[in-house]
Amino acid sequence: MLKKSIIVICITLSFTCNSQTLKTIEKIETAHQECLDSGENMNGCSEEYFAKADELLNTIYKKLKQKLSANEQSILKSEQLKWIKKRDKYFQKVYLDTKREGEFGEGSSGFNMIVTDLQAKFVMDRVKTLMKKL
């Protein structure tokens, strides 16, 4: 009976943590959209979104790593290093594609906002992927 109670508590805590993280993601994404909708300092909105996504990625990664065995941690680290390489290629592609489209001049606030926003969304997708493993 005690084992069942402990298992139920652990599962409940796991759902609560995931629920809190989902709410955090939703809150970050909503705040980002509201900031963009204001039409003011949109580049700053995207920079803030990226910073929060990156911070959340680091937090989720650390939480997940703590829950894993040494072997599973090694696998996670390997996966994360592969993702970082993929991220770097994607970031470069986004920059070059945005530059090629030429809608905004390279280095302008509009150009930087688009690039940063796409980068932040890529990072947030990784956050969601890792969160599913929690």
Q: Dump the DSSP string for 38-105.
A: HTSSHHHHHHHHHHHHHHHHHHHHHHHHHHS-HHHHHHHHHHHHHHHHHHHHHHHHHHHHHHHH-SS-
Rounded-to-integer distance, Cα 128 and Cα 70, Å = 23
Closest CA to 120 of 63, 40, 42: 42
Verdict on whether the full-model pTM lies above 0.85? no
Number of domain units in the chain = 1
What is the chain's pLDDT, residue by residue, as a tens digit (134 residues)?
Answer: 444 434 433 433 444 455 667 888 899 999 999 999 998 989 999 999 999 999 999 999 999 999 999 999 999 999 999 999 999 999 999 999 999 988 888 888 899 999 999 999 999 999 999 998 98
Q: Distance between alpha carbon 72 and the CA centroid of its chain, in Å?
A: 21
Q: Distance between alpha carbon 37 and the CA centroid of its chain, in Å?
A: 21
Q: Are 111 and 99 in contact (CB under 8 A)?
A: yes
Range of the domain at 62: 2-133
Q: Are 124 and 25 in contact (CB under 8 A)?
A: yes
